[in-house]
Amino acid sequence: MRILGVCGSLQAHSNNLTLLRVAAAAAPEGVDLIIFDGVRSLPHFNPDLEAAGVPEAVTEWRNAVDASDAVLIACPEYAFSLPGALKNAIDWVIGSGELEGKVVAITAAVPSRERGRRGLSALRDTLSAARVSIVGGEPIPRGPDFEQEVSELVRRLVAATSDKPVT
């Protein structure tokens, strides 16, 4: 099984990137969690760009999503919503269909459990355009149980993906 890890933050030392690294280390045998680092390279979504040929960064993104069995998104909250770069990335795979029907786990690395909920709600709304199956959706506080909670989310994502009927 291949899970694509996507960080909504572009910061080099993001807590959400750390969450994805913990998730990759926690992936069970037979599961590869690959972190995609190309969100920052995507041009602003504009269907007119495809008329001249799909930009290489977009092709790489679409191929990465298409080749995955599931997706894990670690999404910070910016101004009570999801980051623009992540929204842009999702826009690039809505119409082309690579995200359609995937199992997607969503979470956020946060300082306390009450933080990040609005961003995750906005992310859930955006992902509904691709009719994905959402796993999780709760923020994970950084603290003594962080690794355990991330591991549990990965376990739930793997289980949900394994249970998904083949279409």
Per-residue pLDDT tens digits for 108-147:
999 998 899 999 999 999 999 999 999 999 999 999 999 9
β-strand pairing of 2-7 with 140-141: unpaired
Residue linked to tokens 């191929």: 63
Here the tokens at position 31 are 């599961």
- 2-163 topology per CATH: Rossmann fold (3.40.50)
| Of the candidate ranges 35-39, 48-52, 107-111, 127-131, the one whose mean pLDDT is the lowest | 48-52
Nearest to 88 by CA among 141, 34, 55, 45: 45
Average pLDDT for 58-65 = 98
The neighbour count for residue 53, using CB atoms within 10 Å, is 9
- Please report how many Cα atoms fall inside a 13 Å half-sphere around the Cα of residue 63, on the Cβ side: 8
Q: What share of the chain is helix, strand, coil (3-state, %, to 5)?
A: 45, 20, 40
Strands (DSSP E) found in 10-160: 32-36, 70-74, 103-107, 109-110, 133-136, 140-141
In the beta sheet, which residues pair with residue 133? 103
State pTM to two decimals: 0.96
